[in-house]
Amino acid sequence: MAVDTVGEVDFDRALDVPPLAESHLEGGVRTFDLTMQAGETDLGQGSMTPTWGINGTHLAPTLRAERGEDVQVRVSNGLDEASTLHWHGMHLPAQMDGGPHQMIAPGQTWTPHWRIDQPAASLWYHPHLHGQTARHVYQGLAGMFIIDDQDEAGLDLPRDYGVDDLPLIVQDKKFHDDATLDSSTSFMQSAGITGETVLVNGTPGPYFDVTTHTVRLRILNGSNTRPYNFAFEDDRAFALIGTDGGLLDAPVDLHEVQLSAGERAEIVVAFEPGEQVRLQSGPSDTGDRLAGGADHLDILQFRAGDHLGGVQQVPRELVEVPRIDESTAARTRDFDLSGVSINGQEMDMARIDEVITLGDTEIWNVTNLDGQTHNFHIHDVQFQILDIDGREPPPHLRGWKDTVWLPGGQHIRLIMTFTDYPSTQWPYMYHCHTLRHEDQGMMGQFLIVEPGQSTQPNDYHLQPDRGHGERDH
């Protein structure tokens, strides 16, 4: 019973574009103020839907900062329960990462600070508390974090935010008749909620008025579960210019791009004057029907004006993406995904699973032992894919990634370097980004330690009561 909404969506609301978050300099530090809050939002259900948002009732403003800048974010929790805010894809100290060890109690403010030190990219942010991430994200807590740098600025790419450069936060929802969010799943759906209503930036049935020849789309799969296979209704080609961690070395022409939960793609698509064309999602390679992998969905309609200006063509070369040399790897680790465990274990906030020596390059062998789909996300680093089931990755998977899709049975080798931020106290996470799996324990913790320190996980002890989240099965 695959879902098919093609032709059923009205496209009668202008696409909402999240505002750019205001910031100011405090002693040279770019400072943002974010407040998590509860409210009600019109999600097209006839009456208002209770939702959560940041500086608003649903979703969150887009943060934007430049490589080299010092930033701080004052995150205030105006909800009546504790939450966290995690900077997905960001290279930063573990203590600032906003994972389950950085809980923010109601009424409290948490102020992480760090230096932006990575290439231009489309990152995002969302809660990441122990056992409750799916619910907090589903209620509406998610936003984009765009990083700029000189290399990107030097390219002739569309970059007028909200005009020819659009964030697209794609999330599927299910509603009860009274317009409240439905988070129920059938007993078969172990991966969690899939809905038939696809919101883009929180807009149901969205259209966008195109005023330029080319438009850059920063697509985020911000859904709890559902993988998408994005394509245009006429199957037109578009240029993939970037993946999770930044731009590619050259654009790759594609007709479709698949994203599992948490992944991003930057694409540039060209329009003809006066045309209308829909962005859709078709069946994905997972074949995982219960996770929505067989569905056809209408997502967003583009309406081109009669006169289109802006950037005409994508540059043929983008940025340098040096390949990490396999022979430089200090060690290899195996991660077997099965059920809701990794290497046979479920998440324990007091247990360290892996200890990594600062400066090392490592190869991570990630294997999905199941028939169902999983994915794999690593905090702090951007990695490269060495091979997929023993074969070289296709061109669109050769750039920087922080989350990678593993359809059932797949084996992937990743390579990454741990360049900064040693700590014996504060761990980073790695996990499946299917949020229900993550909540149920499909996550582990790693420390980065100074050379010469023990790499035995048992030598390190965290305070078990530092996070206060409850488990939810």
Question: Contact positions toward ligand C2O, by CB under 6 A?
Answer: 86, 88, 126, 128, 262, 377, 379, 429, 431, 433
Site string for Cu ion, 377-396 (x = CB under 5 A): --x-----------------
For Cu ion, which is the closer residue by CB, 130 or 437?
437
Of the candidates 133, 167, 178, 162, which has an alpha carbon nearest to the alpha carbon of residue 40?
Answer: 178
Q: Does 84 bind Cu ion (CB under 5 A)?
A: no
Of the candidates 179, 155, 175, which has an alpha carbon nearest to the alpha carbon of residue 165?
Answer: 155
Of the candidates 102, 14, 27, 107, which has an alpha carbon nearest to the alpha carbon of residue 72?
Answer: 27
Binding site partner of 262, from Cu ion, ligand C2O, none, Cβ cut-off 5-8 A by kind: ligand C2O
For Cu ion, which is the closer residue by CB, 300 or 432?
432
Stretch that binds Cu ion, among 88-96, 137-145, 392-400, 407-415 (CB under 5 A): 88-96
Q: Does 88 bind Cu ion (CB under 5 A)?
A: yes
**Cα distance between residue 165 and residue 77, in whole Å:** 30
Q: Does 126 bind Cu ion (CB under 5 A)?
A: no
For ligand C2O, which is the closer residue by CB, 433 or 437?
433
Binding site partner of 374, from Cu ion, ligand C2O, none, Cβ cut-off 5-8 A by kind: Cu ion
Site string for Cu ion, 233-272 (x = CB under 5 A): ----------------------------------------
Stretch that binds Cu ion, among 77-85, 140-148, 426-434, 465-473 (CB under 5 A): 426-434
**Cα distance between residue 428 and residue 380, in whole Å:** 7
For ligand C2O, which is the closer residue by CB, 433 or 436?
433
**Cα distance between residue 275 and residue 105, in whole Å:** 50
Binding site partner of 429, from ligand C2O, Cu ion, none, Cβ cut-off 5-8 A by kind: ligand C2O
- Taking CB under 5 A as the criterion, the residue among 30, 136, 278, 437 binding Cu ion is 437
**What are all long-range contacts of 392-397, with beta carbons under 8 Å and residues at least 24 apart?**
395/248, 395/252, 396/240, 396/243, 396/248, 396/252, 396/254, 396/257, 397/243
Non-local CB neighbours of 465 within 8 Å, separated by 6+ positions? none
Q: What is the smallest separation between the CB atom of 127 and ligand C2O, expressed in angstroms?
A: 9
Sign of CA dihedral 336, 366, 411, 255: positive
Binding site partner of 135, from Cu ion, ligand C2O, none, Cβ cut-off 5-8 A by kind: none
Could you say which DSSP state residue 436 is in?
H
Tell me the residue nearest to ligand C2O as measured from the CB: 88
Binding site partner of 431, from Cu ion, ligand C2O, none, Cβ cut-off 5-8 A by kind: ligand C2O
**Cα distance between residue 347 and residue 361, in whole Å:** 24
- Taking CB under 5 A as the criterion, the residue among 434, 447, 460, 467 binding Cu ion is 434
Binding site partner of 91, from ligand C2O, Cu ion, none, Cβ cut-off 5-8 A by kind: none
Q: Specify the 3-state DSSP secondary structure of 342.
A: strand
Q: What is the smallest separation between the CB atom of 343 and ligand C2O, expressed in angstroms?
A: 17
Binding site partner of 213, from ligand C2O, Cu ion, none, Cβ cut-off 5-8 A by kind: none
**Cα distance between residue 206 and residue 20, in whole Å:** 20
For ligand C2O, which is the closer residue by CB, 374 or 431?
431
The size of the chain, in residues, is 473
Of the candidates 382, 137, 370, which has an alpha carbon nearest to the alpha carbon of residue 243?
Answer: 382
**Cα distance between residue 289 and residue 280, in whole Å:** 17
Binding site partner of 101, from ligand C2O, Cu ion, none, Cβ cut-off 5-8 A by kind: none
Q: What is the smallest separation between the CB atom of 403 and Cu ion, expressed in angstroms?
A: 8
Instruction: Name the residue with tokens 């996300």.
Output: 377
**Cα distance between residue 430 and residue 114, in whole Å:** 21
How many residues bind to Cu ion according to rule CB under 5 A?
A: 6
Binding site partner of 434, from Cu ion, ligand C2O, none, Cβ cut-off 5-8 A by kind: Cu ion
**Cα distance between residue 302 and residue 311, in whole Å:** 17
Q: What is the smallest separation between the CB atom of 88 and Cu ion, expressed in angstroms?
A: 4
Stretch that binds Cu ion, among 42-50, 173-181, 435-443, 446-454 (CB under 5 A): 435-443
Non-local CB neighbours of 198 within 8 Å, separated by 6+ positions? 5, 170, 171, 172, 173, 281, 297, 298, 299
Residues that bind Cu ion (CB under 5 A): 88, 374, 379, 432, 434, 437
